[in-house]
Amino acid sequence: MPAEVKQEQSPSNQTSLAMMQEPQEVVEETVTIEEDPGTPTSHVSVVTSEDGTTRRTETKVTKVVKTITRRTFQPVILTESKPSTPVPPSTPTPSETKPVTKMVKTVTTRTVRQVPLGPDGLPVPEGSSPLGSYTDSIDRRYMKNGERFITPQATSTLTRSYNNYSDSYNDTPDTQFRHYTLHDGYGDMPDNYGSLSRGVNYRPYRPYMPTGGYRPENSYTLPIRKDDYGHVAQPQVPMGSSTVDLNRSQPERFQPEPYGLEDDRRSLGPEDEEPYDLEPDYSTANRRTLPGRTIREPLRNGPRVRGYEDPIEAELIDERHPYIHGMYPAPLAQPERGSMASLDRMGGRRSPSIDSIRKDPRWRDPDLPEVIAMLGHPIDPVKSNAAAYLQHLCYENDKIKKDVRQLKGIPVLVSLLDHPKAEVHRKACGALRNISYGKDHDNKVAIKSCDGIPALIRLLRKTNDMEVRELITGTLWNLSSYEPLKMVIINHGLQTMTNEVIIPHSGWEHEPNEDSKPRDAEWTTVFKNTSGCLRNVSSDGAEARRRLRECEGLVDALLHALQSAVGKKDMDNKSVENCVCIMRNLSYHVHKEVPGAEKFQDPSALQAPGSAGTQRKKKDDAGCFGGKKAKGRKNGEHDKNYDTLDLPKRTEPTKGFELLYQPEVVRLYLSLLTESQNYNTLEAAAGALQNLSAGQWTWSNYIRATVRKEKGLPILVELLRSDSDKVVRAVAIALRNLSIDRRNKDLIGSYAMRDLVSNLPSGQQRPAKNLEEDTVVAILNTIHEIITDSSENARSLITAQAIDKLVAINRTSQSARETKAASHVLQTVWSYKELRNALTKDGWNKTHFQPIAAGTPKGSKSCKPGYDDTTLPLMEKSQDGYSTIDQRDKDSKYKSSDISSDLQEREPLKNDTNRKHYIRSNRPTVSLVDACDVKPQPVDSWV
């Protein structure tokens, strides 16, 4: 025995002890999405010139950017490291040797006495209601598997973008324009790019310029375009270049909004260095369609243009001819024409071949400095056209963005935001949105340093134009992906965004009056962008969270929006995802950060909660059946947390941040967990529960109990089977926090063990799901938490055939963290003497339960010293949990990072030293039906 003890306290453990903090809220993950949501927005604007003579259509391409940054905080919550070793002591104590007197719980199918009441948390084999719900979920689940769970999303996304694309093509030649000018590619485009479409692309551009004679492109453009995108372009878009490097384990398809930063990364890239060689970034559409296109001809500087080398051109040109005449004469000076002309010229310059065909030597692109100079042109249309052109040039072209920045174009654009003419500030906004997108944070900083953020916010307050609002919020979303700007955005724009966008679009009203019906949220682009921006900024640490929580109406509105999403069963969209993520982030550390939180600190938590509860319980309740008084003490925790659960009386309706942690939100998150198909939403909802159930304050007690009462445990357990790694992980950690509640622990031990275990890799070959290391470690830690202090749960662990797997992980896993976590579990199991018999019978012996590389202090120098709070740079985290790199690489990478795993391994409640000395061998089994739904019920009453 002594030997064992020693092992348990091997140095590595001890070090970890020191840091024993509880992971309670382990993950706060902020998924930040930066995106230019709107995707290509192209507009056709018809401008009537002052003199009223000319109409032109201007097209602008807005590029879509989506960046999502996801960050995981591993906040370690320390509950003062309570003196507990991960492993219960092996010193024999009387209680340990006590015979197990637990009754056998028989589950029968007898239904005679069935009560409608469901079991309290987990699926009970008997019982109709539980079954019902369980089945439901199974169905769903099934579907998930069948369809890979993704389909719905995928489809929706697809559709959306599809629509976008077609729209844009529809009304604007924009994109085409863009292609034509920017992307070299026509010449070498493979076939999917039909000549037809090309033609189309081209045409719009031309026509609009010179003369008013706008061509009816629509008629033919539309269909073709659609087709194109329909099968070809769209699907490829996402995955290919952009998402790949995002380590995000996003199984999902396209993901228009993958994770922010990453996306950034993609845009940054190649262009800078070898603009012509890499395809990644020119027009989204083209690029993807043309896998084979490699040859590009050198362009001239500035706008890049590809020559047209094919027949199509000729064709195009023919069509265009009539207009060309018109354009030639147009001098810059001529107001109307001027602005256009400049564009024209560029076009000309870009495509030399066309030029030659046209035989017009004067055709020239303005170069970048010229364009920027035009931003200051006295004539408004010139300004707006220049801005539009800049927007177009900047689309996914980091080089140009950089040039614009260096040429001091950004301050000029920002100053145009205050321009009274809608056309001007709209175009300026569009340009800024494109410039703000990308990995190059300098662009974002440049916008900020010329006070772009307040200017954007000002414009947001001023304008009612939906499109402008979309552009503004899109820009803000982009800006919000850069850590240092988050606070600036909060300072300038939080309340405005809330008042101007979030509240009105959420349908929430400050003072609902009788005649107005409660409104549903509208999932507009503006709302999506704004919520994305807030989602990003909400990850900026404690201060940011505080500001958001205290922002008037924000939490109320978000909650309302989510409730209406649940009501309408419309829970898979991006806006919902953003809202849930904000809620999750704001729920993080509520028990420490909310004003007045001290009042709610659970006093018993300060002094070993376990024991306090125990004594109390012993006093007032001897247990259900009189004969078994001893049993009562085992229920201490749950008794405290649940049976006497009475919510503080509310004198007035809760509002603001208090809503975050009211037990009512549990139902909302559970609905999302039940219904949503969006992995990010699922993860965030589970993360929210995880955050709320962490910590020792009154509210987290309520939350833990409420999750059980609302039958949330089966929902969570079922999600352990999700295909998504991060969902499994979030759920596992949530379960761990929930099991701070004693009764939850019992229930989870009885009903979740099998699912937890099935997620573990068996030996070296991983289960079908191939979960990442972090997830495996999270599951192991959850198991550890559940079996700690509960030999009953340890027993069900054994029954779930886990020992095989644990031993295998312990022996063979490539991952130090996994090994360690598994070893802790094994040691805990072995510490239950009453289980040893059974274990030996199965052929195990003590050596199996000892740490293999006893005390390899692998983690002493870790490359990342633990996540100490929320302020980790986004990118760092991304390498961590979400990378998709091969497991082995990862493992090796992790060898040195044990410390962080230690943090996670600690569990929350270890604090009671005495606690170790009794083992709840005869702890009553969990009642299938929780005793009380409303008020605590006596289990044994004198009459």
Cβ-based nearer residue to another protein, 505 or 920: 920
Of 318, 306, 303, 326, residue with least CA distance to 208? 326
Question: At closest approach, how far in Å is the CB of 610 from another protein?
Answer: 21
Cβ-based nearer residue to another protein, 474 or 636: 636
Cβ-based nearer residue to another protein, 372 or 926: 926
Cβ-based nearer residue to another protein, 855 or 936: 936
Q: Can you list the alpha helix ranges (DSSP code H) found in 65-211?
A: 94-97, 128-146, 151-171, 174-182, 195-208
In single-letter form, the type of residue at position 545 comes to: R
Q: State how far the Cα of 553 lies from the Cα of 557, in Å rounded to an integer.
A: 6
Question: At closest approach, how far in Å is the CB of 120 from another protein?
Answer: 10
Q: Which chain residues interact with another protein by CB under 8 A? A: 103-108, 110-113, 115, 117, 126, 623-628, 631, 924-929, 931-932, 937-943
Cβ-in-10-Å burial (0-12, 13-18, 19+) of 904 comes to buried
Cβ-based nearer residue to another protein, 852 or 932: 932
Cβ-based nearer residue to another protein, 131 or 445: 131
Question: At closest approach, how far in Å is the CB of 942 from another protein?
Answer: 4
**Distance linking the first and last C-alpha atoms of the chain:** 49
- Residue 859, CB half-sphere, CA atoms under 13 Å: how many? 28
Question: At closest approach, how far in Å is the CB of 834 from another protein?
Answer: 19
CA distances 714 to 328, 667, 762, 878, Å, are: 72, 13, 24, 30
Q: State how far the Cα of 642 lies from the Cα of 931, in Å rounded to an integer.
A: 10
Q: State how far the Cα of 618 lies from the Cα of 91, in Å rounded to an integer.
A: 25
Cβ-based nearer residue to another protein, 112 or 768: 112
Q: State how far the Cα of 749 lies from the Cα of 790, in Å rounded to an integer.
A: 9
Cβ-based nearer residue to another protein, 427 or 743: 743
Q: Which residues contact 451 (CB under 8 A, 6 or more apart)?
A: 414
Dig out the tokens for 603 from the structure.
């006093």
CA distances 403 to 297, 301, 305, 328, 389, Å, are: 21, 11, 17, 29, 14
Cβ-based nearer residue to another protein, 127 or 859: 127
Question: At closest approach, how far in Å is the CB of 933 from another protein?
Answer: 8
Q: Which residues contact 411 (CB under 8 A, 6 or more apart)?
A: 450
Beta bridge partners of 67: 34
Of 32, 289, 84, 262, residue with least CA distance to 183? 289
Question: At closest approach, how far in Å is the CB of 107 from another protein?
Answer: 7
Question: At closest approach, how far in Å is the CB of 132 from another protein?
Answer: 18
Cβ-based nearer residue to another protein, 102 or 426: 102
Cβ-based nearer residue to another protein, 19 or 624: 624
Q: State how far the Cα of 180 lies from the Cα of 188, in Å rounded to an integer.
A: 13
Dig out the tokens for 122 from the structure.
């987990």
Question: At closest approach, how far in Å is the CB of 735 from another protein?
Answer: 21
Question: At closest approach, how far in Å is the CB of 639 from another protein?
Answer: 14
Of 31, 28, 16, 29, residue with least CA distance to 904? 16
Cβ-based nearer residue to another protein, 650 or 942: 942
For CA atoms 672, 678, 683, 688, give the dihedral sign: negative
Question: At closest approach, how far in Å is the CB of 109 from another protein?
Answer: 8
Cβ-based nearer residue to another protein, 196 or 630: 630
Question: At closest approach, how far in Å is the CB of 930 from another protein?
Answer: 8
Cβ-based nearer residue to another protein, 113 or 650: 113
CA distances 709 to 650, 702, 717, 926, Å, are: 20, 10, 15, 14
The DSSP call for residue 627 is: G
Dig out the tokens for 438 from the structure.
């990308």
Q: State how far the Cα of 298 lies from the Cα of 276, in Å rounded to an integer.
A: 7
Classified as helix, coil or strand, 697 is strand
The DSSP call for residue 71 is: E
The DSSP call for residue 22 is: B
The string of DSSP letters for 27-68 reads: -EEEEEEEEETT-S-EEEEEEE-TTS--EEEEEEE---EEEE
Question: At closest approach, how far in Å is the CB of 794 from another protein?
Answer: 19
Cβ-based nearer residue to another protein, 27 or 124: 124
Cβ-based nearer residue to another protein, 618 or 820: 618
Supply the Cα-derived Rg of the chain in whole angstroms: 31
- Residue 549, CB half-sphere, CA atoms under 13 Å: how many? 24
Dig out the tokens for 340 from the structure.
């256009």
Beta bridge partners of 73: 28
Cβ-based nearer residue to another protein, 513 or 941: 941
The DSSP call for residue 648 is: P
Of 68, 65, 61, residue with least CA distance to 32? 68
Question: At closest approach, how far in Å is the CB of 625 from another protein?
Answer: 4
The DSSP call for residue 77 is: B
Question: At closest approach, how far in Å is the CB of 104 from another protein?
Answer: 6
- Between strands 42-48 and 55-61, the pairing is antiparallel
Cβ-based nearer residue to another protein, 216 or 626: 626
Question: At closest approach, how far in Å is the CB of 112 from another protein?
Answer: 5
Question: At closest approach, how far in Å is the CB of 934 from another protein?
Answer: 10
Question: At closest approach, how far in Å is the CB of 899 from another protein?
Answer: 42
Beta bridge partners of 68: 33
Question: At closest approach, how far in Å is the CB of 102 from another protein?
Answer: 9
Q: State how far the Cα of 693 lies from the Cα of 703, in Å rounded to an integer.
A: 6
The answer to whether 366 touches 346, Cβ cutoff 8 Å, is yes
